[in-house]
């Protein structure tokens, strides 16, 4: 039996929280350790050698060896609310070294072409198939690579989160669809479905998962709601 690291155990705790919450129905989950995934030092050295990104200590701190790590879930039947979510992660070495560049846009601008070539998916939605995904940007010489999100309407947002920050926020939100928009420059006053979903999350999750702090996400939501919608943008 493979012994889990302390960090890996935090993710098992997240999966158990979802499984043990009577208000949630888990549709699928992934939690198997891949015995071929190397330790943090070896794995990140391989990534740094190929990408020429001098990845720092934060990447070692959040290293995991799950072949796939994730859950697809929805709230149990209720007349009062419905909320869904999903996350699906792979080890950084698999994400960065074994992926082809993403295919995001059909008719690309030069800027989009450069960005697309550099992005590698770190979190997607295979069960629900929403098309949303988060990606790490591979750029030589960068110690804290950017995280980008979404491909709705051929638009991508850079997140105000680094890799470790993304994973930390994901453990709290459990992959509720649209949580990433709280960390973008996108206003939420025009996206009613996403806004309703995030309000539902912030209403219910503090009761369902009281060991987590949702106040920073509430502040983010209030900021996003107050942000003006760009003139001429499609709501």
CB-CB contact of 39 with 33 (8 Å): no
What was the pLDDT predicted at 132? 78
Residue ranges in 24-159 assigned as alpha helix (H)? 40-51, 57-61, 92-97, 110-118
Low-confidence ranges of the chain (pLDDT < 50): 231-235
What was the pLDDT predicted at 215? 97
What was the pLDDT predicted at 233? 45
The whole-angstrom separation of Cα 108 and Cα 115 is: 10
54: number of Cβ within 10 Å: 12
Radius of gyration, alpha carbons of the chain: 18
What was the pLDDT predicted at 234? 42
Phi, psi at residue 215, to the nearest 5°? -65, -40
């Amino acid at each position: 039996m493979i012994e889990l690291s302390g960090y890996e155990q935090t993710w098992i705790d997240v999966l158990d929280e979802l499984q043990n919450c009577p208000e949630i129905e888990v549709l699928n989950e992934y939690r198997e350790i891949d015995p071929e995934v190397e330790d943090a030092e070896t794995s990140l050295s391989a990534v740094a050698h190929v990408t020429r990104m001098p990845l720092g200590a934060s990447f070692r701190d959040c290293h995991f060896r799950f072949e796939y790590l994730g859950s697809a879930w929805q709230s149990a039947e209720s007349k009062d609310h419905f909320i869904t979510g999903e996350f699906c992660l792979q080890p950084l070495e698999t994400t960065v070294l074994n992926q082809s560049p993403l295919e995001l846009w059909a008719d690309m601008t030069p800027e989009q072409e450069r960005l697309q070539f550099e992005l590698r998916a770190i979190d997607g939605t295979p069960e629900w198939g929403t098309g949303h995904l988060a990606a790490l940007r591979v750029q030589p010489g960068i110690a804290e690579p950017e995280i980008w999100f979404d491909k709705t309407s051929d638009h991508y947002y850079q997140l105000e989160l680094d890799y470790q920050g993304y994973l930390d926020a994901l453990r709290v939100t459990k992959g509720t669809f649209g949580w990433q928009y709280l960390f973008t420059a996108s206003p939420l006053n025009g996206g009613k479905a996403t806004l309703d979903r995030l309000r539902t999350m912030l209403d219910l999750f503090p009761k369902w998962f009281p060991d987590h702090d949702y106040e920073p996400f509430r502040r983010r939501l209030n900021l996003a709601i107050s942000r003006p919608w760009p003139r001429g943008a499609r709501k």
